Chains A and B, each alone.
Chain A
Amino acid sequence: MDFRPSQEQVLLRDSVRRYFEAAGDDAADEARDWRQFADFGWLAMPVSEADGGLDASLVDLAIVSEEIGAALAPAPFVVGAVLPARILARCPAGAARTAILAALADGTQRYALAAYEAPRRYELSSTATRAERAADGHYRISGSKTLVAGGAQADRLLVTAAIGADTRPALFIVDARAAGVRRRVYAAVDGLPVADFEFAAVDAGAPLAMPDAAPSALEAALDEATICLCAELIGGMDQAVQQTAAYLRLRKQFGRPLAEFQSLQHTVAEMSIEANSARSLLYRAIAAFGAGDVAQRVRAVAGCAIKTQQVAKWVCGTAVHLHGGIGMTCEYAVGRYLLRALVGERLLADREHQLARYLS
């Protein structure tokens, strides 16, 4: 057992950190960032070697995610690279899959998972979106998906749809600009774009995965993405804690720095304990993934998500509070960590959904 990052992992962390120190966090630069991610090989990290990727470990993916969270970077690494790549890794192998993943890894095509539906909350084991087989042998998809993260930038969508009498989802790939696709882009709470999609008999070709394989592929890939999303929140929390301590040392009231007030010192100590607890569960979840037992994996990932989501909101919210009025401004970063936490705690699965998985 060794929790120290390897030499290569330290280099990876430093290179991601250096990139964002230079690039900044302006959402307008998101497309440029994505091309850079491709050039640095970061988009190839979640792709397996068999498909021409780098087959990076979850620890490595978490390191990149953590730095993205710390930098408040707009590029959706987790939902735009890790999630689609890990879903596809669990679809049947072949030339089609390899071509999709090659385009993902080199950044020429961008992908998003279009699976969540308004009346189904976080339930992905069934879907109201339909896939009908047409006379030409292609499937035609009809239905709607909401709040697709990374959907605004996506060139192609991984869409869940049911075939025939089955309500379980199969998985299809759809051109986001194909005839019959309507995309509506709007902002999430953190200011990053999301999209709703309506599909009217859209040509989806052949399924990537059938209903016997798609649900478990989705669940496992979502667990990996959840681990990376937690890493992102942890990266943000650590920054929020550090920035808060720095602010308290600087800001004077009653003739002395706020950092001299013990009640504030102790609150910062609590913030750091909580952020660090989430990190411990992150390591545990990654370890459980490596061990291979599905029930243990589900509990470890759910536990990590429940704790991380809860403490991210508290830590970042308390960071806003300790900054006073300035914490409420758009100008200061701490408020944006809170916004990321608010989206992060409900994008893929919320606390109640994870608790139900944990207790099942």
Chain B
Amino acid sequence: MDLAFSSEDLAFRDDVRGFLRDHLPAGLARRESQGFHLSRGEVAEWQRCLYARGWVAPNWPQQFGGTGWNAIRKYIFDVECGIANAPEISLIALSMVGPVLCRFGSPELQQRFLDPILRGDLWFCQGFSEPQSGSDLASLRTRAVRDGDDYIVSGQKTWTTAAHMADYMICLCRTDAEVKPQAGLSMLLLPMDAPGVTVRPIATIDHEHTVNEVFLDDVRVSAANLVGEPNSGWQQARFLLGNERTHNAYVGMLKRHLLRIARLIDAAPARGASAVACAQFRRAHALLEIDIDALEWSALRVVAGEQGAALDAAASALKIRGSEYLLRAADLEMEILGREAAARFAPDDVAPLPAGADPLAVGRSTQYLYWRASTIFGGANEIQRSIIWNTLFRA
């Protein structure tokens, strides 16, 4: 066993920190730190910085523009970006669609899509979930019927993150209804400006616009936009969802919360919190920090390759705890803020703060409400617990 980062890994971390310090725009980091969702335009500037440095796509093979980092370096980069309040850039295009195209796409699709994705010129949304297909994804009903050189797609997608900002949807649809559900699915790159595509925002309890319903009414998509072979969509979807096993641990984001909680606690006495309350806040912060340390070292064990056959179970455990701790962190922030946390804040450059409010209060309730989704998305936590049982204990 060697339980320390190598000196090369530590030098790499310093390199990443230096880059973030020198290049991450302060205004962007500040907006991101508040926890509101950023627009495509706001994120574009950061993507250009990363593109110039060659760091835009850590998850891609190097010959397609990836960084060539091993899993530990990808992890270090991810965590440092989280701590520094760097926004996540076009996660679906870069972490999901890109790796799938590199692995399964035709040279023609790779030629058309990969470089524009790296540059931030093409944004994607993920067309997986449907009204009747949530956790049971393989039951989805959106159909794609071959018609000459095209597919005609009809159906409805939902919970589609960023559909209102996307150029394309990576659309999982049924191309064969006669075989078992998993064997009849295909993946299409569906242009969002095609006739028959209707995007309708879903109003969510956090009052942010992140998810949408997408109606697909006889949308004509060129068969050239099919990823890989027909009816191999399930395999591709599994690859895509398994691509970022430690991402859902949210270690960088959780460390960002811990730093903010410490600042909120420091400010609490001057804002009227009693000694008893402050002692309780410090205690809760310590216990959360310990749990997040455990999560971080569990993630390191996964990226350093310890887990072997139990990798699926380990990844599920990271997702469960990562999401639970996000909620716990956001909840603790609201608890420390007290009355102020009852206000619904807009970003502070959009609307002035309520009188006397702590600037750190901005976005706290929004983020708490958004993190409620984290136990649901990416495979609900109950699905993850079943994966753990089936992987480790079913026998």
Contact = CB atoms under 8 A, between A and B. Distances in A.
Given A269-B385, A270-B385, A359-B282, A1 B294 contact: no
Interface in B274-320: 282-283, 286-287, 289-291, 293-298, 300-301, 304-306, 313-314, 317, 320
A3 B297 CA distance: 10
Interface string A231-274: 00000000000000110010000000001001001101110110
A270 B316 CA distance: 11
B89 interface: no
Contact of A280 (B297, B305, B389): B297
B382 interface: yes
B389 A281 contact: no
A278 interface: yes
Contact of A281 (B2, B6, B290, B393): B290
A59 B1 contact: yes
Interface in B1-46: 1-6, 9
Nearest to A288: B3
A262 B293 contact: no
A2 B1 contact: yes
B306 A273 contact: no
A265 B385 contact: yes
A284 B298 CA distance: 10
B304 A3 contact: yes
B235 interface: no
A290 B294 contact: no
A266 B386 contact: yes
Interface string B66-77: 000000100000
B392 interface: yes
A303 B317 CA distance: 20
B3 A277 contact: no
Contacts, number: 114
B388 interface: yes
B205 interface: no
B321 interface: yes
A307 B294 contact: yes
B395 interface: yes
Nearest to B300: A1
A3, A283, A307: which has the most chain B beta carbons within 10 Å?
A3
Nearest to B304: A1
A59 B1 CA distance: 8
A40 B306 CA distance: 29
A311 to B, nearest CB: 9
Contacts of A194: none
B332 to A, nearest CB: 16
Contacts of B394: 259
Contacts of B386: 262, 265-266, 269
A307 B3 contact: no
A63 to B, nearest CB: 10
Nearest to A351: B287
B193 to A, nearest CB: 44
A266 B4 CA distance: 33
A278 B297 CA distance: 10
Nearest to A9: B1
Interface band, chain A: 35 or more
A94 B21 CA distance: 52
A4 B306 CA distance: 6
Contacts of A358: 286, 290
A355 interface: yes
A191 interface: no
Contacts of A359: 282-283, 286
A277 B1 contact: no
A52 interface: no
A319 interface: no
A273 B389 contact: no
Nearest to B303: A1
A286 interface: yes
A273 B316 CA distance: 9
A98 interface: no
A183 to B, nearest CB: 38
A197 B5 CA distance: 46
Contacts of A276: 298, 314, 317
A132 to B, nearest CB: 41
A277 B291 contact: yes
A1 B6 contact: yes
Nearest to A303: B290
Contacts of A307: 290-291, 294
A355 B287 CA distance: 9
Given A265-B389, A283-B3, A1 B72 contact: yes
B390 to A, nearest CB: 8
A5 B301 contact: no
A1 B3 contact: yes
20 contacts: A1-B9, A4-B305, A266-B385, A269-B386, A269-B389, A272-B388, A273-B317, A273-B320, A277-B291, A277-B298, A280-B293, A280-B295, A281-B294, A283-B3, A284-B297, A287-B3, A290-B4, A303-B289, A358-B286, A358-B290
Interface of A: 1-6, 9, 59, 245-246, 249, 259, 262, 265-266, 268-270, 272-273, 276-278, 280-281, 283-284, 286-287, 290-291, 300, 303, 306-307, 355, 358-359
Given A283-B3, A287-B4, 10 more contacts: A4-B305, A6-B1, A59-B1, A269-B384, A269-B386, A272-B393, A280-B294, A281-B294, A284-B297, A303-B293
